[in-house]
């Protein structure tokens, strides 16, 4: 494996050069960019497998935990239990949390690389894929909708008046699309004891949404959501579930051995067949197959009808030339999140990931010493927290192997790092773990008063005010 030399840590500004030359130190320190699941699980691995490596986590928001806080649905509290593990990590004296610090802004990746033995890029995926069709500007990304009901500060200006919406079309057949459908169709009183924001809860209480149609370009055997999430839809009281049962039945018959070979797929098809078409109340959820959006207008979406081509596990949607217009007051696009480049780091534009070999970042195929990737930034925006954990552990193991083999140089001692961070303007405005815990206690107390696990603070200014930064 060749090692790429040009991107190896370069000491560009005079202050960090001085720090390096006057304070040689033999300890290994790691900077983690992004305080989401991948960052915390990488740190956890390093803590458990090394005795003296120190870790600094840099997170652009004052609050840690990334999509566990701002993505995972409020009615999935059990999924958020991993935050207890993250708390154990950040309370370890070898770990420091620097919230409210965006790497790639005032604090550059070069500065980090000049101070630390290694840097882990675990900054997730904060953009989303587009459809590339006329009228796209009328479409609301599911990523924004999710971020809105979960309290992400930058998503709070979401301009949707649910009082004026009766029908919603969601484009995409994944778990995020199902999360959005479930939140829109669940009785808001059932969400009142979750950590959904007060603003979202009040908008949902006034919502007039009665029908949600979730549309995918391929068939029932190619959906990306899981049986567990579909089952949750079937548990919503009085909700009518609709789909083309004839299509489901004929696809299951046509590809019987494929369906029989996967217990989860079989369960999902059985679930669909047993629930679709049953009587219910005034609200409905429709799963539509074999339709690709071609245009969005103020009135709704125009779809082209597709047929499937090729074997079931690689089936391609092919347009038939037939079109259907579906009226809708709101169109959500849920076709995937996307990772964006961070200044100074390699980026694979085609695959939209930080290029890497088993967690070691590469540039033109060569390993960049001391630079690692973990989580969605490493492998693309797919996979649940358990997958992200395994993946982060593998990155942690790569770092440990490089430490053991002497491939990582010593970093600066903490006081010198602090001097470098101060010179980068980070220290005055960063949020420490103690301050985050103070904010969290504030949120938990506010939540307790209204019967919720927490009432999230949804503005950065307000967060900093509470913390006193
Ligand atoms: C809507 C949704 C619902 C989900 N629900 C579930 C579920 O129910 N169960 C489940 O197991 N999994 C679920 N997942 C998947 C799970 O959230 C991911 O597997 C996991 O969060 C990925 O972790 P990550 O650390 O790679 O990314 P993230 O969680 O996105 O963390 C990345 C962090 O990096 C920070 N960051 C970004 N840029 C910078 C920068 N320049 N400088 C500093 N910090 C930066 C971000 O603010 C963020 O905090 C869901 C995902 C989504 C999108």
157 vs 151 pLDDT, higher one: 151
Cβ neighbours for 292, distance < 8 A, ≥ 6 positions apart: 217, 303, 304, 306, 317, 319
Topology given in CATH for the domain delimited by 14-126+339-431: Rossmann fold (3.40.50)
Instruction: Count the helices and strands in the chain (H runs, E runs).
Output: 18, 18
pLDDT band per the 50, 70, 90 thresholds, residue 142: very high
Residue 67 C-alpha to ligand 1 middle, in angstroms? 3
Neighbours of 28 (CB within 10 A): 22
Residue nearest to atom 14 of ligand 1 (CA): 384
Cα gap 241→274, rounded to integer Å: 10
Tell me the CATH number of domain 130-333, given options 3.30.390.50, 3.50.50.60, 3.40.640.10, 3.40.605.10: 3.50.50.60
DSSP state of 164: G
Residue 277: predicted pLDDT: 86
Q: Binding site annotation covers 332?
A: no
Residue 5: predicted pLDDT: 37
Domains of the chain: which residue ranges?
Answer: 14-126+339-431, 130-333
Mean pLDDT calculated for residue range 188-210: 97
Residue 126 C-alpha to ligand 1 middle, in angstroms? 8
User: Mean pLDDT of all residues in the chain?
Assistant: 93
Ligand 1 binding pocket (C-beta < 6 A) is: 33-39, 58-61, 66-68, 71-72, 76, 79, 102-104, 122-124, 126, 146, 176, 179, 337, 342, 375-376, 383-385, 388
pLDDT per residue over 337-395, tens digit each?
999 999 999 999 999 999 999 999 999 999 999 999 999 999 999 999 999 999 999 99
Residue 27: predicted pLDDT: 85
Q: Binding site annotation covers 376?
A: yes
Residue 366 C-alpha to ligand 1 middle, in angstroms? 27
Residue 226 C-alpha to ligand 1 middle, in angstroms? 19
* Strand ordering across the sheet containing 316-327: 291-296, 300-309, 316-327
Proportion of the chain above pLDDT 70, given as a percent: 94
Q: Is the pLDDT of residue 441 over 80?
A: yes
């Amino acid at each position: 494996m060749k090692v790429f030399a040009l991107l190896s840590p370069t000491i560009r500004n005079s202050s960090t050069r001085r720090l390096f030359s006057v304070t040689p130190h033999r300890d290994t320190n790691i900077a983690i960019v992004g305080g989401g699941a991948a960052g915390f699980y990488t740190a956890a691995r390093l803590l458990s497998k090394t005795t003296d490596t120190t870790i600094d986590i840099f997170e652009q928001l004052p609050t840690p935990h990334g999509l566990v806080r701002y993505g995972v649905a409020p009615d999935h509290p059990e999924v958020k239990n991993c935050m207890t593990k993250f708390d154990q990590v950040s309370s370890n004296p070898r770990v420091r949390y620097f919230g409210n610090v965006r790497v790639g802004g005032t604090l550059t990746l070069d500065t980090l690389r000049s101070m630390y033995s290694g840097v882990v890029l675990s900054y997730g995926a904060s953009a989303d894929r587009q459809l590339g069709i006329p009228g796209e500007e009328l479409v609301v990304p599911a990523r924004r909708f999710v971020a809105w009901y979960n309290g992400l500060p930058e998503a709070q200006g979401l301009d949707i008046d649910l009082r004026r919406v009766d029908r919603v079309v969601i484009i995409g057949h994944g778990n995020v699309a199902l999360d959005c459908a479930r939140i829109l169709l669940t009785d808001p009183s059932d969400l009142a004891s979750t950590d959904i924001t007060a603003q979202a809860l009040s908008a949902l209480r006034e919502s007039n949404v009665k029908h949600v149609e979730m549309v995918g370009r391929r068939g029932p055997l190619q959906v990306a959501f899981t049986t567990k999430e579909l089952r949750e839809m079937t548990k919503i009281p009085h909700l009518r579930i609709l789909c083309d049962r004839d299509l489901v039945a004929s696809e299951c018959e046509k590809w019987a051995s494929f369906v029989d070979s996967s217990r989860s797929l079989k369960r999902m098809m059985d679930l669909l067949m047993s629930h679709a078409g049953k009587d219910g109340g005034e609200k409905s959820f429709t799963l539509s197959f074999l339709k690709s959006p071609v245009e969005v207008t103020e009135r709704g979406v125009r779809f082209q009808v597709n047929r499937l081509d090729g074997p079931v596990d690689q089936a391609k949607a092919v347009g038939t030339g037939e079109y259907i217009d579906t009226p809708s007051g709101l169109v959500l696009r849920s076709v995937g999140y996307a990772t964006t480049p961070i200044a100074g780091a390699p980026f694979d534009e085609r695959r939209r990931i930080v290029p890497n070999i088993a967690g070691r970042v590469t540039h033109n195929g060569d390993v960049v010493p001391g630079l690692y990737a973990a989580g969605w930034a490493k492998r693309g925006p797919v996979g649940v927290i358990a997958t992200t954990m395994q993946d982060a552990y593998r990155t942690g193991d790569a770092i440990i192997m490089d430490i053991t083999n002497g491939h990582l140089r010593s970093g600066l001692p903490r006081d010198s790092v602090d001097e470098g961070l101060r010179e980068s303007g980070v220290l005055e405005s960063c949020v420490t773990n103690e301050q985050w815990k103070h904010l969290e206690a504030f949120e938990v107390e506010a939540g307790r008063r209204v019967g919720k696990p927490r009432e999230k603070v949804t503005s950065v200014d307000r967060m900093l005010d509470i913390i006193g930064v």
